[in-house]
Amino acid sequence: MEGESKGSFDVMDQGSENKGRKLIVGTCDLVLRLLAFVMTLVAAIVIGADKQTAIVSIKLLDSMPPLDLPVTAKWHYLSAFLYFVAANAIACAYATLSLLLTIANRRKGKGMEALISVIDALMVALLFSGNGAAIAIGLLGLQGNSHVHWNKVCNVFGKFCHQATLSLFTSLLGSTAFLLLLVVPPLLRLKRAN
């Protein structure tokens, strides 16, 4: 009798444990998608509005003194930043769509779940490649490279570089949210296995 009741408790425990696990996974999924949406949106807007005009001394001819001219830095002058904005915009649009599907409880079919897992993985690849490209160019703008004579530009366009850094940081947070969407389910399985 004792064993029987213990057995039924075990089954109940397992059932409530499964429910609890599903609730954790569902909540994590919702929070991470919301975070991914907000962060990729902010990243795209912040760099999309990034523009600065500075007065730069330019020597047009050797025989003439340098001229002080206004020069404008815009994000779309650099192809890496174009790719970065495109990656964040695509990821933001997808985060919105998947978030709406989650809220409307339209992800019950196994096919839809599988499709979302596939696109989540593609978004991680897209966003991290965009981040890599933008950070590489951002570091070059900040430090320059004496070997190839690429001079730093952040000493002149400080505000532009600060705004780009902020955008890169928020994009990294959004990308990490997408990465966690892939990593959390196996991590929970790992915890359950131990």
Residue 121: left (phi > 0), alpha (psi -120 to 50), or beta? alpha
Q: What is the C-alpha separation between 112 and 68, in angstroms, rounded? A: 59
> Taking the mean position of all CA atoms in its chain, how far away is CA 129?
10
Determine if 158 is a binding residue for its own copies (CB under 8 A).
Answer: no
Among 34, 51, 90, 128, contact with its own copies (rule: CB under 8 A): 128
Q: With contact defined as beta carbons under 8 Å apart, do 181 and 33 qualify? A: yes
Binding flag, residue 194, its own copies (CB under 8 A): yes
Cα 182 from Cα 194, distance rounded (Å): 20
Q: Is 174 in the site for its own copies (CB under 8 A)?
A: no
Pair of tokens at residue 148 = 């190839």
Which of residues 4, 6, 63, 149 is near its own copies by CB under 8 A?
Answer: 149
Cβ-based burial of 28 (10 A; exposed 0-12, middle 13-18, buried ≥19): middle
Pick the stretch among 13-21, 23-31, 42-50, 142-150 that binds its own copies (CB under 8 A): 142-150
- The stretch near its own copies (CB under 8 A) out of 21-29, 99-107, 158-166, 179-187 is 179-187
Indicate the residue among 37 and 160 with the shorter CB distance to its own copies.
Answer: 160
Is 153 a binding residue for its own copies by CB under 8 A? The answer is yes
Interface with its own copies, residue 101, by CB under 8 A? no
The secondary structure of residue 60, as a DSSP letter, is S
Helices (H), 49-157: 79-103, 110-143
Q: Is 151 in the site for its own copies (CB under 8 A)?
A: yes
**122 touches its own copies (CB under 8 A):** yes
- Cα separation of the two ends of the chain: 30
Contacts with its own copies by CB under 8 A lie at: 62, 73, 77-80, 83, 109-111, 113-115, 117-118, 121-122, 124-126, 128-137, 139-141, 145, 147-151, 153, 175, 179, 182-183, 186-187, 189-190, 192-194
